[in-house]
Structure 1
Amino acid sequence: MHGEFTTLGIKIAPSTVWEILKQAGHEPAPERVSTTWADFLRSPADALPACDFIETITVNGRRQYTLAIIEHTGRRIRVLGITAHPTASWVVQAVKNLVMDVEQAGCRARYLIRDRDAKFPALIDEILSEAGIQTVLTGIRMPRMNAIMERWVQSCRRELLDRCLIWNERHLRHALREYERFYNRHRAHQALGQAAPLRTVPDPITDPEQIIDLNIRRRDRLGGILHEYSHPA
């Protein structure tokens, strides 16, 4: 809520939001705990990406696997691909596409964090190494070592996948494309000072008359599962 107010240029203290929610009987969200591993992840590299698979079961009972990558510094998420059969060749091609995108963007990523999922073939480490990117493996059953990626997976499930029925792969692609755009361009991030990866925080509204007479419009995405609030153009 505090993030949405900030996005609209309305300056309000987080404690005020907390008081409003408390009076309404809503408990605060669980606190995010930082660790020494998270401190390590704040490396001097311009971009420190991490990747992971997220599994989804569609209405027809088929399992779909989504490979996504997130940048630690800017929190930008990219969905690299969706498939029902995450074969070694499919994963290798997705990583090759990623390397080409990194080179074209002039990114200076030095590490890529991933878990020890068997869906990742050993060949991808060689591909990344040739591009100057070292693979960092997390410990066994230690999701905290890939905390930022795991947090995105939880956000994606809580805000999207657990709130709608995914019919098939095509529907999943559409839903994740919309969520990727929403996450990168609108959704407020506490770690970014309520900015979004591809959106800065607007200047706060200082005119009292504008605060009193606000005209806020809501744009619904995916049938109302996602909401975007903005001032009229």
Structure 2
Amino acid sequence: MRAQHDPHFSDFLLRVDNGDEPTIENDMIRIPDSMAMHWEGENSIDELINAIFPDLSSHMYDTDYMENRAIITHLNDDVNKLNEKAINAFPGEEVTYYSFDSVPDDTRNLYPGEIFTGNLPPHKLVLKKGSPIMLLRNIDLKIGLCNGTRLICRRFGRNLIEAEILAGQFKRMRVFLSRIPLKSAEDAKMPFEMLRRQFPIRLSFALTINKSQGQTFQIEVMDNCILLYLGVFQKEQLKF
């Protein structure tokens, strides 16, 4: 974690936590320029991705490189947009997996898959060899395949993905992932339950704050934030 190796950043966190950091209007704290990227249009997102994942073409199979990097944000929509941009910049050939969606007791099934997000994997899952992914469900706790486990894609089959666990007790273990049926969450903003058959994963160049808890990164960025509990998360924050 950066606070362990950067005295300037560590002191800043302590001042925020102790309430000693000067505030501006509405009791907001100004992030030092050395810790921020200023929003200058859509290109700023590309610059952010390049700053956290530099020289991707040379590290596309480097597990240590992928293990220690992530962009942290607070909205699933932002995560999806960042991951889409990152996979487009990632070298290699795309492999696309579409989900099969259904609504129980509804024979019409006239619902576009793109409208269902939240706790479900994407309807259109675009991956490349070497791209980082995260499990969205508990699969096999005995071998570390639990909700939040990060992996790297190694090989693709029609209905099977070979991946490598990035961190933890089972780091470097090769595993196989298959499509499984998943239900929409009960608190999803939909008037009905939806079933989706898809690989229980999503890209993990970017993660939500919730999904990042328990993860360890050497290089991480929290986007679109001004304060957001710096003392709790102790994460470098970039505002854009």
TM tier relative to shorter chain:
under 0.3
TM-score, structure 2 normalization: 0.23
TM-score, structure 1 normalization: 0.24
Q: If each structure's strand is expressed as a fraction of its own residues, which one has the higher value?
A: 2
Q: Which has the higher contact order (CA 8 A, sep 6+)?
A: 2
Q: If each structure's helix is expressed as a fraction of its own residues, which one has the higher value?
A: 1
